[in-house]
């Protein structure tokens, strides 16, 4: 659906689809197994039915990606400073054992979802931290300044990994 809302951008990023050009085994596995996963999760129908009608088509794809990221990462602690109720439901559905907080805790954070830049994140980054940044088009400069090792630009969403074991790389992904 989104590829038809702005076909010029979709066509410009067409060669960056489904992991083409990604040589890192970790990044390729993440792209193919999480970002481009086509099998529906069992909880999608329940959560999608609770969404307001105007959100169902616009943000459902991004919420499904959040659920898959949390399910893949299996974090202990999720920090969501400014997200709405629907985002929290999708994150909790991805990993039921995780604790979801709205405020920054002491120490490292395993998973963080940001809608707006927050420099407090820099104090809570660990090597197992996964950051998902919404509204990336508006906050691209802040996202590019992060000390991430592996980052992925999905046009509207940015994903950053901070594990120093990986080689530093930035990927453009047609999502």
Give domain limits for the chain.
Answer: 2-172
Percent of the chain, pLDDT > 70? 85
Alpha carbons 130 and 112: distance in angstroms, whole number:
6
To which residue do tokens 């919420």 refer?
A: 63
Looking at residue 1, its pLDDT comes to 42
Looking at residue 52, its pLDDT comes to 78
Looking at residue 61, its pLDDT comes to 85
Alpha carbons 59 and 57: distance in angstroms, whole number:
6
Q: Mean pLDDT throughout 22-44?
A: 85
DSSP conformation class of 40: P
Cα dihedral 35, 38, 43, 46 sign: positive
pTM of the model: 0.85
Pick the CATH number of 2-172 from 3.30.40, 1.20.1510, 3.30.1050, 3.40.50: 3.40.50
Alpha carbons 152 and 173: distance in angstroms, whole number:
7
**Residue 5, pLDDT above cutoff 80:** no
**Residue 109, pLDDT above cutoff 80:** yes
What residues pair up with 97 in beta bridges, in sequence order? none
Alpha carbons 153 and 159: distance in angstroms, whole number:
7
Supply the mean pLDDT for the chain: 85
Looking at residue 21, its pLDDT comes to 65
Looking at residue 10, its pLDDT comes to 56
- pLDDT, one tens digit per residue, over 95-108 is 999 999 999 999 99
């Amino acid at each position: 659906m989104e590829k038809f809302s702005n076909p010029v951008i979709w066509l410009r990023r067409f060669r960056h689809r489904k992991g083409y050009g990604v040589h890192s085994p970790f990044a390729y596995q993440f792209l193919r197994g999480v970002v481009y996963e086509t099998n529906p999760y069992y909880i999608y129908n329940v959560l999608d039915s609770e969404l307001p009608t105007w959100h169902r088509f616009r943000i459902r794809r991004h919420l499904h990606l959040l659920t898959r990221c949390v399910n893949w990462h299996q974090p202990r602690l999720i920090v969501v400073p400014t997200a709405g109720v629907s985002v929290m439901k999708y994150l909790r559905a991805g990993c039921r054992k995780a604790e979801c907080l709205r405020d920054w805790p002491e120490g490292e954070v395993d998973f963080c979802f940001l809608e707006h830049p927050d420099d407090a994140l820099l104090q809570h980054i660990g090597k197992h931290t996964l950051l998902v940044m919404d509204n990336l088009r508006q906050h691209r400069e802040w996202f590019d300044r992060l000390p991430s090792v592996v980052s992925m630009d999905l046009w509207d969403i940015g994903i950053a990994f901070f594990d120093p074991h990986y080689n530093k790389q930035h990927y453009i992904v047609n999502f």
